[in-house]
Chain A
């Protein structure tokens, strides 16, 4: 077993998607002596709970740009990371009701302007893309042929392996107890693991999901983040659905992710009108329900049956409840903090997977340059202080049917 070093140039807390990707980007830019500490295993936290949907569809321009600029990493993972990351370009279909047709058109224009390969599609075209869908339920659709889904755990492992090749040290099953600051709390000194190992370092990146809350609280910084229960249902559609796309049903607020290998579908709830929050300390201890409620199952089935009325031989395979990390505005923190040398890369609110590659670059920018070097992407919307300043990101044409911040 490799011994932990006494000092590091950068310590990253959390080996999920964001921690692994950031480690890789920093190492690529010749940062030596990077240590990633993970309390469980690589990709075992929120990463492992992600549905893995890939889309460029956002109503926020900056997030659209991040998704666009990230897509190449999924497409060319073998060349960039030396490993397959399970990218399945089955397409992403997005449907809204009659009231939101204009919003959809405006957003699709914005997405096209920013390089998303997408367009509005007619009912007839949708019949080709998703033959079992009852198109009458919807006002309009857009489609992105390069959307689809991928495997978040594979991506985190690919980043970790590529980072290892560049000399990054990963230590799994090694939880951080505290982020240690100078006496006056103004700057970083190092981190201490629960096994009482101290690593002295000038920079710490907290990519610990909800865990960021207690780590930062101990360092004197309040990071608003909590867990939100997400109930997921796995079904066998009972018919052979060739090339089913990932589908955002924003009439009923449900998303559907196909699985090419099995032909099964994952149904996820996108209705966050009455969220079930989990406070950070319970989340850290895994103290939240892991089962889907009867009501959630019933709701998901009803929505699915409404959208796909002819698939009446569909079978329930499994249901479970996961928890995503959520910020108050649904926008992540890629931010410096009041403690010099401590950075946040957390709070991805259930939509971080598709923008991972750019987040890693942005975080590396933040630590090394102090500002973004990514074209057309400012770090400003992701700063922690936005919440106190009441300056959260606004979409130009938000959908009225969903209060979903990340669409």
Chain B
């Protein structure tokens, strides 16, 4: 009987959608085994209902305010206690800022392999993970030979499927000692906006946006579609926006359902960060721009004409929906 443990993550008081995606992966790996989730922090218990909606049969809670902010030492101690308690065969979490920070330490501690940033799992003949390498220019299938399987799952890649169960909640009295690194302060740059890595829609600007102010119509479009704004390295280098928005080989990798590239030429460096998006729309004045080679739909035109029209047309399409629903 396979026992799977999922480390769930909350942000701004809400569970992240990647946690549900990982639970769905867990249910595939568990087959008729057991799925457990763990979640940390002083108000962790409030998340149990949602976790059980996605199949978590046992939920380990470590209610400790030392775990309110993520620290490698704190999370390591808490997670190791859960692992000791339940002895999982599989440990999963999202390939997120926290996931990719803590699981390497856990894997090192347990002396196991870690499969990072996985986008697919096959279970027919042992466990085989698919993961992108070389910024998505190639995919690698890796077979697991360890007795404990540890992996991080790329957000926004696998659908979260509801699978409601009744969960047993187990509170672990975790004592956190000797935090060698502590978080003094978090300066939120995303302040409530949709997280770029998890956004279903990304509207992204390049040098063609021409100024910081040029990003305003893009923000409006992203806001309308419930998405996030991104940028090419060119736009960041030109100081039109913050580097935290950069998508590409040296920036973030995004895989939204819809990626709208505005005034982006489509340099290899940028494509590395977005080419796995489900649908790519390119808007560029230059019909020869490389971005048209990778897009699903392209409009040759000035983004400052096209984006306002898009806003208008999306508005009316979405309003129609509201009326018919």
Residues of A within 8 A of B (CB): 41-42, 172-173
Contacts and interface: CB of A to CB of B under 8 A. Distances in A.
Tell me whether chain B's interface is mostly helix, strand or loop, or mixed. Answer: loop
Interface in B260-294: 288, 290, 293
Nearest to A157: B288
Nearest to A161: B288
A88 B293 CA distance: 33
A205 B290 CA distance: 27
Contacts, number: 5
A41 B292 CA distance: 12
A6 B318 CA distance: 45
Interface string B49-66: 000000000000000000
Interface of B: 288, 290, 293
Contacts of A41: 288, 290
5 contacts: A41-B288, A41-B290, A42-B288, A172-B288, A173-B293
A41 B287 CA distance: 12
Contacts of A42: 288
A41 B290 CA distance: 9
A42 B288 CA distance: 9
Lowest 5 A-B CB distances belong to which pairs?
A: A173-B293, A41-B288, A42-B288, A41-B290, A172-B288
Contacts of B290: 41
Nearest to A42: B288
Contacts of B293: 173
Contacts of B288: 41-42, 172
B287 to A, nearest CB: 10
A290 to B, nearest CB: 14
B109 to A, nearest CB: 38
Contacts of A172: 288
A42 B290 CA distance: 12
A41 B266 CA distance: 13
B298 to A, nearest CB: 10
Nearest to A1: B292
A340 B33 CA distance: 74
B288 to A, nearest CB: 7
A41 B293 CA distance: 11
A172 B288 CA distance: 9
B137 to A, nearest CB: 14
B139 to A, nearest CB: 21
B67 to A, nearest CB: 46
A137 B288 CA distance: 48
A173 B293 CA distance: 9
Nearest to B290: A41
Nearest to A160: B288
Contacts of A173: 293
Nearest to A170: B288
A36 to B, nearest CB: 14
A57 B290 CA distance: 37
A221 to B, nearest CB: 33
A312 to B, nearest CB: 30
Nearest to B293: A173
A172 B286 CA distance: 15
A42 B287 CA distance: 13
B255 to A, nearest CB: 25
A172 B292 CA distance: 12
A88 to B, nearest CB: 23
A26 B226 CA distance: 53
